[in-house]
A and B are shown apart, each in its own frame.
Chain A
Protein backbone atom coordinates (compact mmCIF):
# COMPACT_ATOMS: atom_id res chain seq x y z
CA UNK A 1 0.00 0.00 0.00
CA UNK A 2 1.67 3.16 -1.18
CA UNK A 3 -1.02 5.72 -1.08
CA UNK A 4 0.04 9.22 -0.24
CA UNK A 5 -1.25 10.42 3.07
CA UNK A 6 -2.02 14.01 3.77
CA UNK A 7 -0.88 15.60 7.04
CA UNK A 8 -4.43 15.31 8.40
CA UNK A 9 -4.55 11.57 7.80
CA UNK A 10 -1.11 11.17 9.33
CA UNK A 11 -2.19 13.07 12.40
CA UNK A 12 -5.29 10.90 12.67
CA UNK A 13 -3.16 7.77 12.47
CA UNK A 14 -0.84 9.07 15.15
CA UNK A 15 -3.79 9.75 17.42
CA UNK A 16 -5.21 6.30 16.73
CA UNK A 17 -2.04 4.63 17.96
CA UNK A 18 -1.86 7.04 20.88
CA UNK A 19 -5.42 6.15 21.92
CA UNK A 20 -4.99 2.42 21.69
CA UNK A 21 -1.49 2.42 23.20
CA UNK A 22 -2.72 1.27 26.64
CA UNK A 23 -4.20 -1.82 25.04
CA UNK A 24 -1.12 -2.50 22.89
CA UNK A 25 1.16 -2.27 25.93
CA UNK A 26 -1.18 -4.46 27.97
CA UNK A 27 -1.45 -6.93 25.12
CA UNK A 28 2.32 -7.27 24.87
CA UNK A 29 2.93 -7.53 28.64
CA UNK A 30 -0.07 -9.57 29.75
CA UNK A 31 -1.02 -11.65 26.70
CA UNK A 32 1.47 -11.97 23.84
CA UNK A 33 4.59 -12.13 26.01
CA UNK A 34 3.10 -14.61 28.52
CA UNK A 35 1.79 -16.89 25.75
CA UNK A 36 5.30 -17.37 24.40
CA UNK A 37 6.77 -17.51 27.90
CA UNK A 38 4.36 -20.28 28.87
CA UNK A 39 5.22 -22.18 25.69
CA UNK A 40 8.87 -21.91 26.74
CA UNK A 41 8.12 -22.92 30.36
CA UNK A 42 6.23 -25.96 29.08
CA UNK A 43 9.58 -27.34 27.91
CA UNK A 44 11.23 -26.65 31.26
CA UNK A 45 11.34 -27.69 34.86
CA UNK A 46 10.24 -24.54 36.59
CA UNK A 47 9.17 -23.69 40.15
CA UNK A 48 9.14 -19.83 39.93
CA UNK A 49 11.82 -19.55 42.63
CA UNK A 50 14.77 -20.88 40.64
CA UNK A 51 15.26 -20.16 36.95
CA UNK A 52 13.67 -22.50 34.41
CA UNK A 53 15.60 -25.58 33.40
CA UNK A 54 15.20 -26.88 29.81
CA UNK A 55 14.01 -30.50 29.69
CA UNK A 56 12.73 -30.79 26.11
CA UNK A 57 9.44 -32.56 25.56
CA UNK A 58 9.55 -34.35 28.89
CA UNK A 59 6.49 -32.52 30.28
CA UNK A 60 4.44 -33.50 27.26
CA UNK A 61 5.60 -37.10 27.49
CA UNK A 62 4.67 -37.18 31.15
CA UNK A 63 1.29 -35.69 30.33
CA UNK A 64 0.27 -38.49 28.01
CA UNK A 65 1.06 -41.14 30.59
CA UNK A 66 -0.51 -39.18 33.46
CA UNK A 67 -3.84 -40.80 34.40
CA UNK A 68 -4.96 -37.61 36.16
CA UNK A 69 -4.50 -35.60 32.98
CA UNK A 70 -6.82 -37.99 31.14
CA UNK A 71 -9.19 -38.01 34.09
CA UNK A 72 -9.41 -34.22 34.14
CA UNK A 73 -9.98 -34.16 30.40
CA UNK A 74 -12.71 -36.75 30.74
CA UNK A 75 -14.43 -34.95 33.61
CA UNK A 76 -14.35 -31.60 31.85
CA UNK A 77 -15.59 -33.00 28.52
CA UNK A 78 -18.43 -34.85 30.23
CA UNK A 79 -19.50 -31.68 31.99
CA UNK A 80 -19.14 -29.59 28.84
CA UNK A 81 -20.95 -32.02 26.53
CA UNK A 82 -24.00 -32.17 28.78
CA UNK A 83 -24.22 -28.74 30.38
CA UNK A 84 -23.66 -26.62 27.26
CA UNK A 85 -26.33 -28.14 24.95
CA UNK A 86 -28.74 -28.55 27.84
CA UNK A 87 -28.25 -24.94 28.90
CA UNK A 88 -28.71 -23.66 25.36
CA UNK A 89 -31.86 -25.73 24.78
CA UNK A 90 -33.44 -24.67 28.08
CA UNK A 91 -32.63 -20.99 27.66
CA UNK A 92 -33.96 -21.04 24.10
CA UNK A 93 -37.22 -22.65 25.22
CA UNK A 94 -37.70 -20.16 28.04
CA UNK A 95 -36.81 -17.23 25.77
CA UNK A 96 -39.38 -18.41 23.20
CA UNK A 97 -42.04 -18.64 25.91
CA UNK A 98 -41.11 -15.19 27.18
CA UNK A 99 -41.50 -13.86 23.65
CA UNK A 100 -45.21 -14.80 23.44
CA UNK A 101 -46.50 -11.34 24.30
CA UNK A 102 -46.84 -12.26 27.93
CA UNK A 103 -47.50 -10.01 30.88
CA UNK A 104 -44.85 -9.49 33.53
CA UNK A 105 -41.99 -10.05 31.09
CA UNK A 106 -39.63 -7.80 33.07
CA UNK A 107 -40.41 -9.71 36.27
CA UNK A 108 -39.67 -13.08 34.73
CA UNK A 109 -36.46 -11.78 33.18
CA UNK A 110 -35.33 -10.38 36.52
CA UNK A 111 -35.96 -13.70 38.25
CA UNK A 112 -34.15 -15.76 35.62
CA UNK A 113 -31.12 -13.49 35.63
CA UNK A 114 -30.91 -13.03 39.41
CA UNK A 115 -28.69 -16.07 40.17
CA UNK A 116 -26.09 -14.80 37.69
CA UNK A 117 -25.20 -11.80 39.85
CA UNK A 118 -24.16 -13.85 42.89
CA UNK A 119 -20.47 -14.61 43.27
CA UNK A 120 -19.25 -18.08 42.35
CA UNK A 121 -18.11 -18.78 45.91
CA UNK A 122 -21.47 -17.89 47.45
CA UNK A 123 -23.29 -19.92 44.80
CA UNK A 124 -21.00 -22.88 45.48
CA UNK A 125 -21.61 -22.71 49.22
CA UNK A 126 -25.35 -22.46 48.70
CA UNK A 127 -25.45 -25.52 46.45
CA UNK A 128 -23.23 -27.51 48.79
CA UNK A 129 -25.97 -27.01 51.32
CA UNK A 130 -28.73 -27.79 48.80
CA UNK A 131 -26.95 -30.99 47.74
CA UNK A 132 -26.38 -32.11 51.34
CA UNK A 133 -27.57 -35.74 51.15
CA UNK A 134 -29.26 -35.81 54.55
CA UNK A 135 -30.44 -32.29 55.30
CA UNK A 136 -30.35 -30.63 51.88
CA UNK A 137 -33.49 -29.31 50.31
CA UNK A 138 -33.04 -31.20 47.05
CA UNK A 139 -33.20 -34.69 48.45
CA UNK A 140 -36.02 -33.61 50.73
CA UNK A 141 -38.05 -32.37 47.74
CA UNK A 142 -37.23 -35.47 45.71
CA UNK A 143 -38.58 -37.60 48.52
CA UNK A 144 -41.58 -35.44 49.28
CA UNK A 145 -42.70 -34.95 45.66
CA UNK A 146 -41.63 -38.15 43.91
CA UNK A 147 -40.72 -40.55 46.69
CA UNK A 148 -37.22 -40.85 45.24
CA UNK A 149 -34.34 -41.53 47.58
CA UNK A 150 -31.82 -38.95 46.30
CA UNK A 151 -28.15 -39.83 45.77
CA UNK A 152 -25.23 -38.53 47.82
CA UNK A 153 -24.60 -35.90 45.08
CA UNK A 154 -21.24 -34.25 45.78
CA UNK A 155 -20.03 -37.20 47.79
CA UNK A 156 -20.80 -39.70 45.06
CA UNK A 157 -18.35 -40.37 42.23
CA UNK A 158 -21.26 -41.03 39.94
CA UNK A 159 -23.42 -38.03 40.83
CA UNK A 160 -20.92 -35.25 41.43
CA UNK A 161 -20.80 -34.10 37.78
CA UNK A 162 -24.58 -34.33 37.27
CA UNK A 163 -24.88 -32.24 40.44
CA UNK A 164 -22.58 -29.56 39.04
CA UNK A 165 -24.50 -29.63 35.75
CA UNK A 166 -27.77 -29.04 37.59
CA UNK A 167 -26.12 -26.16 39.40
CA UNK A 168 -24.89 -24.70 36.09
CA UNK A 169 -28.47 -24.64 34.78
CA UNK A 170 -29.33 -22.26 37.60
CA UNK A 171 -27.20 -19.65 35.86
CA UNK A 172 -28.66 -19.67 32.35
CA UNK A 173 -30.22 -16.22 32.78
CA UNK A 174 -27.59 -14.51 30.65
CA UNK A 175 -28.34 -16.74 27.67
CA UNK A 176 -32.08 -16.22 28.14
CA UNK A 177 -31.58 -12.46 27.91
CA UNK A 178 -29.46 -12.83 24.77
CA UNK A 179 -31.95 -15.15 23.06
CA UNK A 180 -34.93 -13.02 24.02
CA UNK A 181 -33.32 -9.98 22.41
CA UNK A 182 -32.57 -12.09 19.34
CA UNK A 183 -36.14 -13.32 19.08
CA UNK A 184 -37.49 -9.81 19.44
CA UNK A 185 -35.30 -8.83 16.49
CA UNK A 186 -36.91 -11.33 14.10
CA UNK A 187 -39.29 -9.40 11.80
CA UNK A 188 -42.90 -10.42 12.50
CA UNK A 189 -43.66 -10.25 8.75
CA UNK A 190 -41.75 -13.49 8.34
CA UNK A 191 -44.13 -15.28 10.69
CA UNK A 192 -47.18 -13.62 9.16
CA UNK A 193 -46.13 -14.65 5.66
CA UNK A 194 -45.58 -18.21 6.83
CA UNK A 195 -49.02 -18.28 8.46
CA UNK A 196 -50.64 -17.21 5.20
CA UNK A 197 -48.82 -20.10 3.56
CA UNK A 198 -50.39 -22.38 6.16
CA UNK A 199 -47.33 -23.12 8.30
CA UNK A 200 -47.95 -24.49 11.80
CA UNK A 201 -46.02 -23.50 14.92
CA UNK A 202 -43.48 -26.26 14.52
CA UNK A 203 -42.80 -25.33 10.86
CA UNK A 204 -42.34 -21.73 11.88
CA UNK A 205 -39.95 -22.67 14.66
CA UNK A 206 -37.88 -24.91 12.40
CA UNK A 207 -37.82 -22.70 9.31
CA UNK A 208 -37.83 -19.19 10.74
CA UNK A 209 -36.82 -19.09 14.40
CA UNK A 210 -33.89 -21.50 14.21
CA UNK A 211 -32.29 -20.05 11.05
CA UNK A 212 -32.76 -16.47 12.23
CA UNK A 213 -31.29 -17.31 15.63
CA UNK A 214 -28.44 -19.44 14.34
CA UNK A 215 -25.72 -16.72 14.47
CA UNK A 216 -26.63 -16.05 18.10
CA UNK A 217 -26.70 -19.77 18.84
CA UNK A 218 -23.25 -20.13 17.27
CA UNK A 219 -21.90 -17.35 19.46
CA UNK A 220 -23.37 -18.73 22.67
CA UNK A 221 -22.24 -22.25 21.78
CA UNK A 222 -18.62 -21.14 21.41
CA UNK A 223 -18.68 -19.03 24.55
CA UNK A 224 -20.45 -21.82 26.43
CA UNK A 225 -17.80 -24.36 25.51
CA UNK A 226 -14.97 -21.98 26.34
CA UNK A 227 -16.56 -21.22 29.72
CA UNK A 228 -17.28 -24.83 30.53
CA UNK A 229 -13.59 -25.58 30.17
CA UNK A 230 -12.87 -22.77 32.65
CA UNK A 231 -14.74 -24.33 35.58
CA UNK A 232 -12.67 -23.76 38.68
CA UNK A 233 -14.41 -22.08 41.61
CA UNK A 234 -17.16 -24.71 41.98
CA UNK A 235 -14.67 -27.57 41.92
CA UNK A 236 -12.21 -25.86 44.26
CA UNK A 237 -14.80 -24.78 46.82
CA UNK A 238 -17.29 -27.65 46.68
CA UNK A 239 -15.37 -30.84 46.05
CA UNK A 240 -11.65 -30.11 45.79
CA UNK A 241 -11.73 -32.42 42.77
CA UNK A 242 -13.18 -35.37 44.66
CA UNK A 243 -14.47 -37.84 45.50
CA UNK A 244 -11.63 -39.88 44.13
CA UNK A 245 -10.87 -37.34 41.34
CA UNK A 246 -14.44 -37.62 40.00
CA UNK A 247 -14.66 -33.84 39.71
CA UNK A 248 -11.04 -33.07 38.88
CA UNK A 249 -11.75 -30.32 36.36
CA UNK A 250 -8.99 -29.42 33.94
CA UNK A 251 -8.34 -25.92 35.28
CA UNK A 252 -8.37 -27.22 38.85
CA UNK A 253 -5.66 -29.68 37.85
CA UNK A 254 -3.64 -26.85 36.27
CA UNK A 255 -4.04 -24.82 39.46
CA UNK A 256 -2.97 -27.72 41.68
CA UNK A 257 0.15 -28.35 39.61
CA UNK A 258 1.09 -24.69 39.41
CA UNK A 259 0.28 -23.37 42.88
CA UNK A 260 0.16 -26.41 45.13
CA UNK A 261 2.90 -28.65 43.69
CA UNK A 262 4.83 -25.72 42.10
CA UNK A 263 5.35 -27.72 38.90
CA UNK A 264 4.95 -24.62 36.79
CA UNK A 265 6.54 -26.25 33.77
CA UNK A 266 4.10 -29.13 33.81
CA UNK A 267 1.20 -26.74 34.46
CA UNK A 268 2.30 -24.68 31.45
CA UNK A 269 2.25 -27.79 29.27
CA UNK A 270 -1.25 -28.55 30.55
CA UNK A 271 -2.43 -25.03 29.79
CA UNK A 272 -0.97 -25.15 26.29
CA UNK A 273 -2.85 -28.36 25.61
CA UNK A 274 -6.00 -26.60 26.83
CA UNK A 275 -5.24 -23.71 24.49
CA UNK A 276 -4.83 -26.07 21.53
CA UNK A 277 -8.06 -27.93 22.36
CA UNK A 278 -9.94 -24.63 22.54
CA UNK A 279 -8.46 -23.49 19.21
CA UNK A 280 -9.36 -26.79 17.57
CA UNK A 281 -12.93 -26.74 18.92
CA UNK A 282 -13.50 -23.12 17.92
CA UNK A 283 -12.09 -23.80 14.45
CA UNK A 284 -14.27 -26.89 14.11
CA UNK A 285 -17.42 -25.00 15.08
CA UNK A 286 -16.60 -22.13 12.74
CA UNK A 287 -15.76 -24.51 9.90
CA UNK A 288 -19.02 -26.36 10.33
CA UNK A 289 -21.03 -23.16 10.76
CA UNK A 290 -21.83 -22.58 7.05
CA UNK A 291 -23.79 -25.82 7.25
CA UNK A 292 -26.13 -24.62 9.95
CA UNK A 293 -25.70 -20.89 10.46
CA UNK A 294 -27.81 -18.61 8.33
CA UNK A 295 -26.60 -15.10 7.57
CA UNK A 296 -28.89 -12.69 5.82
CA UNK A 297 -27.03 -11.45 2.77
CA UNK A 298 -29.10 -8.35 2.31
CA UNK A 299 -30.77 -7.07 5.37
CA UNK A 300 -33.19 -4.24 5.19
CA UNK A 301 -33.32 -2.07 8.24
Chain B
Protein backbone atom coordinates (compact mmCIF):
# COMPACT_ATOMS: atom_id res chain seq x y z
CA UNK B 1 0.00 0.00 0.00
CA UNK B 2 2.74 2.42 0.96
CA UNK B 3 4.75 1.36 -2.08
CA UNK B 4 1.81 2.07 -4.35
CA UNK B 5 1.29 5.52 -2.90
CA UNK B 6 4.94 6.47 -3.33
CA UNK B 7 4.85 5.30 -6.91
CA UNK B 8 1.83 7.45 -7.58
CA UNK B 9 3.56 10.37 -5.89
CA UNK B 10 6.54 9.90 -8.12
CA UNK B 11 4.35 9.89 -11.20
CA UNK B 12 2.78 13.19 -10.23
CA UNK B 13 6.21 14.64 -9.61
CA UNK B 14 7.52 13.49 -12.99
CA UNK B 15 4.45 14.82 -14.73
CA UNK B 16 4.78 18.24 -13.14
CA UNK B 17 8.44 18.32 -14.14
CA UNK B 18 7.43 17.54 -17.74
CA UNK B 19 4.91 20.38 -17.75
CA UNK B 20 7.38 22.84 -16.24
CA UNK B 21 10.03 22.08 -18.87
CA UNK B 22 7.52 22.28 -21.72
CA UNK B 23 6.03 25.54 -20.51
CA UNK B 24 9.42 27.17 -19.94
CA UNK B 25 10.71 26.15 -23.37
CA UNK B 26 7.47 27.37 -24.96
CA UNK B 27 7.93 30.73 -23.30
CA UNK B 28 11.52 30.89 -24.55
CA UNK B 29 10.27 30.15 -28.08
CA UNK B 30 7.54 32.80 -27.81
CA UNK B 31 9.67 35.63 -26.38
CA UNK B 32 11.24 36.59 -29.74
CA UNK B 33 7.82 36.68 -31.41
CA UNK B 34 6.42 38.75 -28.59
CA UNK B 35 9.44 41.05 -28.79
CA UNK B 36 8.88 41.42 -32.53
CA UNK B 37 5.26 42.50 -32.05
CA UNK B 38 6.11 44.73 -29.10
CA UNK B 39 8.91 46.50 -31.01
CA UNK B 40 6.67 46.96 -34.05
CA UNK B 41 4.18 48.91 -31.93
CA UNK B 42 6.67 51.20 -30.22
CA UNK B 43 7.09 54.91 -30.72
CA UNK B 44 10.37 55.93 -32.33
CA UNK B 45 11.66 57.27 -29.02
CA UNK B 46 10.71 54.11 -27.14
CA UNK B 47 12.75 51.74 -29.31
CA UNK B 48 16.05 52.66 -27.72
CA UNK B 49 14.89 52.78 -24.13
CA UNK B 50 16.90 50.91 -21.56
CA UNK B 51 15.69 48.90 -19.72
CA UNK B 52 13.34 48.00 -22.59
CA UNK B 53 9.60 48.14 -22.21
CA UNK B 54 7.81 44.84 -22.80
CA UNK B 55 4.50 46.45 -23.62
CA UNK B 56 4.55 49.83 -25.37
CA UNK B 57 2.66 52.58 -23.53
CA UNK B 58 0.95 53.89 -26.66
CA UNK B 59 0.75 51.11 -29.24
CA UNK B 60 1.52 52.77 -32.57
CA UNK B 61 -0.57 50.90 -35.12
CA UNK B 62 0.38 53.64 -37.54
CA UNK B 63 3.84 52.08 -37.69
CA UNK B 64 2.53 49.45 -40.08
CA UNK B 65 1.27 52.13 -42.44
CA UNK B 66 4.53 54.07 -42.18
CA UNK B 67 6.61 50.97 -42.87
CA UNK B 68 4.50 50.00 -45.85
CA UNK B 69 4.40 53.40 -47.49
CA UNK B 70 8.12 53.97 -47.22
CA UNK B 71 8.74 51.22 -49.75
CA UNK B 72 6.49 50.45 -52.76
CA UNK B 73 5.01 47.65 -50.73
CA UNK B 74 2.00 47.05 -52.99
CA UNK B 75 4.28 46.47 -55.93
CA UNK B 76 6.49 43.99 -54.04
CA UNK B 77 3.46 42.23 -52.62
CA UNK B 78 2.13 41.79 -56.15
CA UNK B 79 5.51 40.58 -57.45
CA UNK B 80 5.85 38.01 -54.69
CA UNK B 81 2.25 36.88 -55.14
CA UNK B 82 2.71 36.37 -58.89
CA UNK B 83 5.89 34.33 -58.41
CA UNK B 84 4.43 32.30 -55.56
CA UNK B 85 1.15 31.57 -57.29
CA UNK B 86 2.81 30.52 -60.56
CA UNK B 87 5.24 28.34 -58.60
CA UNK B 88 2.38 26.61 -56.82
CA UNK B 89 0.52 25.92 -60.04
CA UNK B 90 3.63 24.59 -61.76
CA UNK B 91 4.59 22.41 -58.82
CA UNK B 92 1.11 20.93 -58.40
CA UNK B 93 0.68 20.12 -62.10
CA UNK B 94 4.07 18.59 -62.70
CA UNK B 95 4.75 16.84 -59.38
CA UNK B 96 1.36 15.13 -59.24
CA UNK B 97 1.59 13.59 -62.70
CA UNK B 98 5.22 12.52 -62.23
CA UNK B 99 4.38 11.00 -58.85
CA UNK B 100 1.50 9.11 -60.47
CA UNK B 101 3.93 7.53 -62.93
CA UNK B 102 6.31 6.48 -60.18
CA UNK B 103 3.60 5.20 -57.86
CA UNK B 104 1.26 3.40 -60.23
CA UNK B 105 2.78 2.46 -63.59
CA UNK B 106 5.17 -0.43 -64.08
CA UNK B 107 8.05 0.06 -66.46
CA UNK B 108 11.61 -1.05 -66.92
CA UNK B 109 14.04 1.38 -65.35
CA UNK B 110 11.47 2.80 -62.96
CA UNK B 111 13.28 1.91 -59.75
CA UNK B 112 16.61 3.21 -61.02
CA UNK B 113 15.01 6.48 -62.04
CA UNK B 114 13.33 6.78 -58.67
CA UNK B 115 16.66 6.27 -56.91
CA UNK B 116 18.12 9.02 -59.07
CA UNK B 117 15.21 11.27 -58.12
CA UNK B 118 15.81 10.63 -54.42
CA UNK B 119 19.52 11.23 -54.71
CA UNK B 120 18.98 14.62 -56.37
CA UNK B 121 17.63 15.81 -53.02
CA UNK B 122 21.13 15.39 -51.62
CA UNK B 123 22.84 17.58 -54.21
CA UNK B 124 23.74 21.03 -52.86
CA UNK B 125 21.93 23.57 -55.07
CA UNK B 126 25.13 25.61 -55.37
CA UNK B 127 26.58 22.98 -57.69
CA UNK B 128 23.93 23.67 -60.32
CA UNK B 129 23.42 27.35 -59.51
CA UNK B 130 26.10 28.86 -61.74
CA UNK B 131 25.38 26.95 -64.98
CA UNK B 132 21.64 27.47 -64.49
CA UNK B 133 22.31 31.18 -64.05
CA UNK B 134 24.43 31.15 -67.23
CA UNK B 135 21.58 29.42 -69.06
CA UNK B 136 19.00 32.00 -67.99
CA UNK B 137 21.44 34.78 -68.81
CA UNK B 138 21.82 33.29 -72.29
CA UNK B 139 18.04 33.28 -72.69
CA UNK B 140 17.98 36.91 -71.49
CA UNK B 141 15.70 35.91 -68.65
CA UNK B 142 17.65 37.55 -65.84
CA UNK B 143 15.79 40.35 -64.09
CA UNK B 144 12.50 38.65 -64.97
CA UNK B 145 10.38 36.29 -62.90
CA UNK B 146 10.89 33.40 -65.31
CA UNK B 147 13.97 31.86 -63.64
CA UNK B 148 12.03 31.76 -60.39
CA UNK B 149 8.91 30.21 -61.93
CA UNK B 150 9.74 28.02 -64.94
CA UNK B 151 11.90 25.38 -63.16
CA UNK B 152 8.93 24.51 -60.94
CA UNK B 153 7.01 23.23 -63.95
CA UNK B 154 9.39 20.27 -64.10
CA UNK B 155 8.49 18.78 -60.73
CA UNK B 156 10.40 19.05 -57.48
CA UNK B 157 11.99 15.89 -56.08
CA UNK B 158 10.69 16.54 -52.58
CA UNK B 159 7.09 16.97 -53.74
CA UNK B 160 7.19 14.03 -56.14
CA UNK B 161 8.43 11.85 -53.30
CA UNK B 162 5.76 13.15 -50.92
CA UNK B 163 2.92 12.58 -53.38
CA UNK B 164 4.19 9.15 -54.37
CA UNK B 165 4.09 8.08 -50.73
CA UNK B 166 0.45 9.14 -50.56
CA UNK B 167 -0.51 7.52 -53.87
CA UNK B 168 0.99 4.23 -52.72
CA UNK B 169 -1.55 4.06 -49.90
CA UNK B 170 -4.50 3.92 -52.33
CA UNK B 171 -5.41 0.28 -53.08
CA UNK B 172 -4.21 -0.69 -56.54
CA UNK B 173 -7.46 -2.65 -57.03
CA UNK B 174 -9.20 0.66 -57.68
CA UNK B 175 -6.97 1.22 -60.70
CA UNK B 176 -7.54 -2.32 -61.94
CA UNK B 177 -11.29 -2.01 -61.65
CA UNK B 178 -11.25 1.29 -63.51
CA UNK B 179 -9.06 -0.25 -66.21
CA UNK B 180 -11.56 -3.07 -66.73
CA UNK B 181 -14.27 -0.45 -67.09
CA UNK B 182 -12.24 1.02 -69.92
CA UNK B 183 -10.72 3.95 -68.06
CA UNK B 184 -7.44 5.26 -69.50
CA UNK B 185 -4.34 5.92 -67.41
CA UNK B 186 -4.96 9.62 -67.43
CA UNK B 187 -8.57 8.93 -66.50
CA UNK B 188 -7.43 6.91 -63.50
CA UNK B 189 -5.12 9.74 -62.52
CA UNK B 190 -7.70 12.48 -62.77
CA UNK B 191 -10.78 10.58 -61.56
CA UNK B 192 -9.37 8.29 -58.88
CA UNK B 193 -5.92 9.32 -57.68
CA UNK B 194 -6.32 13.10 -57.62
CA UNK B 195 -9.71 13.22 -55.85
CA UNK B 196 -8.53 10.71 -53.23
CA UNK B 197 -5.35 12.58 -52.42
CA UNK B 198 -6.65 16.12 -52.00
CA UNK B 199 -5.04 16.46 -48.54
CA UNK B 200 -1.67 15.53 -50.03
CA UNK B 201 -2.11 18.09 -52.78
CA UNK B 202 -2.95 20.67 -50.12
CA UNK B 203 0.29 19.78 -48.33
CA UNK B 204 2.26 20.26 -51.54
CA UNK B 205 0.52 23.56 -52.25
CA UNK B 206 1.28 24.84 -48.75
CA UNK B 207 4.95 23.91 -48.75
CA UNK B 208 5.52 25.27 -52.23
CA UNK B 209 3.79 28.49 -51.17
CA UNK B 210 5.97 28.81 -48.08
CA UNK B 211 9.24 28.14 -49.83
CA UNK B 212 8.53 30.44 -52.71
CA UNK B 213 7.16 33.24 -50.51
CA UNK B 214 10.15 33.06 -48.14
CA UNK B 215 12.86 32.40 -50.74
CA UNK B 216 15.75 34.82 -50.63
CA UNK B 217 18.78 33.52 -52.53
CA UNK B 218 17.14 32.95 -55.93
CA UNK B 219 15.43 36.35 -56.10
CA UNK B 220 18.72 37.90 -54.92
CA UNK B 221 20.57 36.30 -57.82
CA UNK B 222 18.02 36.98 -60.54
CA UNK B 223 16.22 40.25 -59.73
CA UNK B 224 17.87 43.67 -59.75
CA UNK B 225 15.43 46.34 -60.90
CA UNK B 226 13.75 48.27 -58.14
CA UNK B 227 10.26 47.53 -59.42
CA UNK B 228 10.87 43.78 -59.67
CA UNK B 229 11.91 43.01 -56.11
CA UNK B 230 10.18 40.47 -53.90
CA UNK B 231 9.16 41.09 -50.29
CA UNK B 232 12.18 39.32 -48.81
CA UNK B 233 14.55 41.35 -51.00
CA UNK B 234 12.74 44.54 -50.07
CA UNK B 235 12.96 43.68 -46.38
CA UNK B 236 16.69 43.20 -46.69
CA UNK B 237 17.14 46.53 -48.52
CA UNK B 238 14.95 48.21 -45.94
CA UNK B 239 17.73 47.75 -43.38
CA UNK B 240 20.15 49.76 -45.48
CA UNK B 241 17.61 52.49 -46.20
CA UNK B 242 16.87 53.21 -42.59
CA UNK B 243 20.49 53.01 -41.54
CA UNK B 244 19.69 50.29 -39.00
CA UNK B 245 17.85 52.56 -36.65
CA UNK B 246 14.10 52.27 -37.10
CA UNK B 247 13.67 48.85 -35.57
CA UNK B 248 10.00 49.49 -34.93
CA UNK B 249 9.29 49.97 -38.64
CA UNK B 250 11.56 47.09 -39.59
CA UNK B 251 9.74 44.73 -37.24
CA UNK B 252 6.38 46.00 -38.47
CA UNK B 253 7.38 45.28 -42.07
CA UNK B 254 8.74 41.83 -41.09
CA UNK B 255 5.47 40.99 -39.37
CA UNK B 256 3.45 41.94 -42.43
CA UNK B 257 5.66 39.77 -44.64
CA UNK B 258 5.30 36.86 -42.23
CA UNK B 259 1.56 37.28 -41.80
CA UNK B 260 0.34 35.16 -44.76
CA UNK B 261 2.50 32.27 -43.57
CA UNK B 262 1.22 32.58 -40.00
CA UNK B 263 -2.38 32.60 -41.21
CA UNK B 264 -1.79 29.62 -43.46
CA UNK B 265 -0.12 27.75 -40.64
CA UNK B 266 -2.92 28.32 -38.17
CA UNK B 267 -5.66 27.30 -40.56
CA UNK B 268 -3.91 24.41 -42.28
CA UNK B 269 -1.77 23.05 -39.49
CA UNK B 270 -2.58 19.41 -40.05
CA UNK B 271 -1.31 19.60 -43.64
CA UNK B 272 1.98 21.00 -42.38
CA UNK B 273 2.34 18.22 -39.81
CA UNK B 274 1.38 15.60 -42.38
CA UNK B 275 3.94 16.83 -44.88
CA UNK B 276 6.75 16.85 -42.34
CA UNK B 277 5.87 13.45 -40.96
CA UNK B 278 5.49 11.68 -44.29
CA UNK B 279 8.68 12.97 -45.81
CA UNK B 280 10.64 12.82 -42.59
CA UNK B 281 9.66 9.39 -41.45
CA UNK B 282 9.42 7.39 -44.61
CA UNK B 283 12.56 8.95 -46.04
Contact = CB atoms under 8 A, between A and B. Distances in A.
A168 interface: no
Contact of A268 (B130, B231, B283): B130
A108 B19 CA distance: 10
B254 interface: yes
Given A38-B127, A220-B280, A125 B254 contact: yes
B123 A35 contact: yes
Nearest to B28: A170
B151 A122 contact: no
Which of B19, B125, B280 has the most C-beta atoms of chain A within 10 angstroms of its own C-beta?
Answer: B280
A30 B154 contact: yes
Interface bin, chain B? 35 or more
B115 interface: no
A31 B151 CA distance: 11
Contacts of B221: 259
Interface string A4-22: 0000010011011111101
A20 B123 contact: no
Contacts of B216: 119-121, 232-233, 236-237
Contacts of A129: 35, 39, 247, 250-251
B128 A35 contact: yes
Contacts of B49: 135
B151 A19 contact: no
A119 B134 contact: no
Given A26-B155, A115-B29, A135-B52, A94 B280 contact: no
Interface in A254-287: 254-255, 258-259, 264, 267-268, 270-272, 274-275, 278-279, 282
B105 interface: yes
Contacts of B174: none
B281 interface: yes
A216 B281 CA distance: 6
B258 A122 contact: yes
Contact of B29 (A18, A170, A270, A274): A170
A13 B107 contact: yes
Q: Which of B97, B135, B151, B216 has the most chain A CB within a 10 Å cutoff?
A: B216
Interface string B194-226: 000000000000000010011011001100000
A288 B108 CA distance: 32
Contact of A278 (B102, B124, B214, B235): B124
B153 interface: yes
Contacts of B39: 129
B131 interface: yes
Contact of A117 (B36, B94, B210, B220): B210
Interface string B90-132: 0000100110111001111010010011001011111111111
Nearest to B15: A100
Contacts of A31: 120, 123, 128
Contact of B134 (A48, A140, A229, A237): A48
B124 A97 contact: no
A16 B107 contact: yes
A15 B98 CA distance: 11
A182 B153 contact: no
A230 B217 CA distance: 11
B98 A20 contact: yes
Interface stretch (A54-62, A173-181, A202-210): A173-181
B135 to A, nearest CB: 8
A190 interface: no
10 interchain residue pairs of minimum CB distance = A26-B154, A19-B101, A119-B214, A37-B131, A34-B131, A16-B107, A178-B280, A34-B128, A16-B105, A122-B254
Interface of A: 1, 9, 12-13, 15-20, 22-27, 29-31, 33-35, 37-38, 41, 48, 94, 97-98, 100, 102, 108-115, 117-122, 125-127, 129-130, 134-135, 137, 140, 144, 170, 174, 177-178, 181-182, 185, 216, 219-220, 222-223, 226, 229-230, 232-233, 236-237, 251, 254-255, 258-259, 264, 267-268, 270-272, 274-275, 278-279, 282
13 contacts: A16-B110, A19-B98, A22-B98, A27-B120, A108-B22, A118-B214, A121-B232, A130-B35, A137-B52, A140-B52, A259-B221, A278-B124, A282-B122
